[in-house]
Structure 1
Amino acid sequence: MDLGPGRRAAPPRFVLPGVSEKNREGKRTARERLAAEREKQRSAEKRRRLLIVGAAVVCVLALAAVIGVVAANMDKDKTDTAGPVTAPSGANGDDNLVIPAGEASARSTLTVWEDFRCPACKNFESAYRPTIHELTDSGQLKVDYRLVTLIDGNMGGSGSLRAANAAACAQDAGKFTAYHDVLFDNQPVETNDDYADNGKLIELAGKVDGLDTGAFRKCVEDGAHNSWVAQSNKAFQSSGFQGTPTVLLNGKNIYQDRTMTPAKLKQMVEEANKA
């Protein structure tokens, strides 16, 4: 094309067919991938926030449930030991806190502080019970049982209290010694508060002839001697003794003697009776 003197036409531009369309398509695809990735990240963040909120709600509800159970148990324990102190039949000693076994005329007295949830008490019973029964049956020894709820205080729960109440109910029926032995023979592990279940205590009464009666069941279920048990435990706390079992022969603490054995106990009782 002639543009006049001194002027030339610009050379024509050549564009490869399809290149522009491909560039535009590539840019559009990249934008779509970026948008999809951002949407994916937003969805993941939303799910994360929902999980955090959900977990927090679950923790709050669980904590509230635990607090509710603890509060209910505390209120129940307060109710269990409220009311007048009713000693079991035949109880004697200071404030009628002793359950006696054996002949009252026996010259030697063994005082035993025990907790029905206490493993060491079970060990004592397993080792010494035959000798104690032999000495009480022959009239050489009487035993003053004093009941404690030490494990309830240390581990939580109410099994010590309820088992002691049930034992006091058995004393009302004249079946204390037999039921006392059954409770130790069937003692749950220390961390299991199985004796907090009155149904379990009534079930074990079936192992003692004539104990599972309507009167016994009512006594157990009503916690008739709970306040008496609480007073007995209070006496132990003010006694200066450190743990259970605490065993005294004629007032002397003998179970802390590492050389003590059932045979030695029998010998000590016989010698004391001769003196």
Structure 2
Amino acid sequence: MPADPRRGRSKATDRQRAAARRAAEAAARAQAPRHSRTFIGGTVAVLAALVALIILGVRQDQWTADASAAAPANTTADGAAVRIGDPDAPVTLTVYEDFLCPACRSFEDVLGPTLAELVADGTAAAEYRPIAILDHASPDAYPTRALNAAAVVTDTAGPEAFLAFHDLLFAHQPAEGGAGLSDAQLIALAERAGATGPQVEAGIRERAFQDWTRRVTDNAGRDGVTSTPTILINGEPLAERTPQGLQDAVRAAAAA
């Protein structure tokens, strides 16, 4: 059941503060010498995006996800998303993310507070559709493990716990190419988000929703999602990824 918008206001404030702290940290890191980082960093980002596109295509060719894979409770009718906000909101803001994706963390840092405000005031509802396309950049399949853990949290504790866990995963995001958070660390974050008990621990350790992670990732690719983050406003791509651009696009969609 979608969260009560009145509760969303306090949750939004917490998310805004957390995002502000992460943005400040990012700004501090940006003060480091940049004369050699700008070109190299941009090149790496482009190459990483190309690799993600190739891997997603290969995954679709190599296996077909089990269409009957059980979906977590507390998801949308298609079993692939977690909806936050007023069920009657005039705008649906759809967010495809991979929990290892650096650009997704940047999106949350920069646009997360604005998104939270739009959800809290009832202008929009957020529909999170996390996927796992970056396993190739992780020696321990962290994107799939993190997505499975998010599914366990959603199944056992609901959308608000999912959102808290989502934010914690990005706040503690590991670097691409290195080890991801351990199962024990994922369990600890799940507990902080409000999902506790033996079912949570077992679901994370035993990959209870692994088949589902494959299905939603496969389906996203078939729906035309080729990179993360992908942001849609009532089904249309967000053109300007700035706080003002997001506000303008959502309010225009609400007025249409």
Question: Does TM-score exceed 0.5, indicating one fold?
Answer: yes
Shift of 1:101: 1.5
2:219 alignment partner in structure 1:
235
Deviation digits for residues 82-132 of structure 1 (CA, Å, limit 9, x no counterpart): 8961211121243x2122121211110111111001111111111111111
Shift of 1:240: 2.5
1:66 alignment partner in structure 2:
none
Shift of 1:227: 0.8
Shift of 1:156: 4.9
Normalised by the length of structure 1, the TM-score is: 0.64
Please point out which of 182, 186, 195 is paired with 2:172: 186
2:151 alignment partner in structure 1:
168
2:141 alignment partner in structure 1:
158
Could you tell me whether the CA contact under 8 Å between 1:83 and 1:227 is conserved in 2? no
Question: Which has the higher relative contact order, 1 or 2, with Cα contacts under 8 A spaced 6 or more apart?
Answer: 2
1:134 alignment partner in structure 2:
117
1:204 alignment partner in structure 2:
189
Shift of 1:205: 2.3
Higher mean alpha-carbon deviation, 239-248 vs 160-169, is at 239-248
Q: Say whether 1:147 aligns with 2:147.
A: no
1:65 alignment partner in structure 2:
none
Distance across 2 between alignment mates of 1:198 and 1:102: 30
Aligned counterparts, 1:40-51, within 5 A: none
Shift of 1:154: 4.8
Please point out which of 232, 240, 265 is paired with 2:246: 265
**What amino acid maps onto 1:181 in structure 2?**
D
Distance across 2 between alignment mates of 1:97 and 1:205: 20
Could you tell me whether the CA contact under 8 Å between 2:91 and 2:233 is conserved in 1? yes
Shift of 1:155: 4.7
**What amino acid maps onto 1:86 in structure 2?**
A
Shift of 1:252: 0.7
Q: Say whether 1:222 aligns with 2:206.
A: yes
What SS class does the counterpart of residue 183 from structure 1 fall into? helix
What SS class does the counterpart of residue 192 from structure 2 fall into? coil
Identity over aligned residues, as a percent? 34
Higher alpha-carbon Rg: 1
Aligned counterparts, 1:16-95, within 5 A: 85-94=69-78
Shift of 1:153: 3.5
Normalised by the length of structure 2, the TM-score is: 0.68
Shift of 1:266: 1.3
What SS class does the counterpart of residue 171 from structure 1 fall into? helix
The unaligned stretches of length 5 or more in structure 2 are 1-64
Could you tell me whether the CA contact under 8 Å between 1:122 and 1:184 is conserved in 2? yes
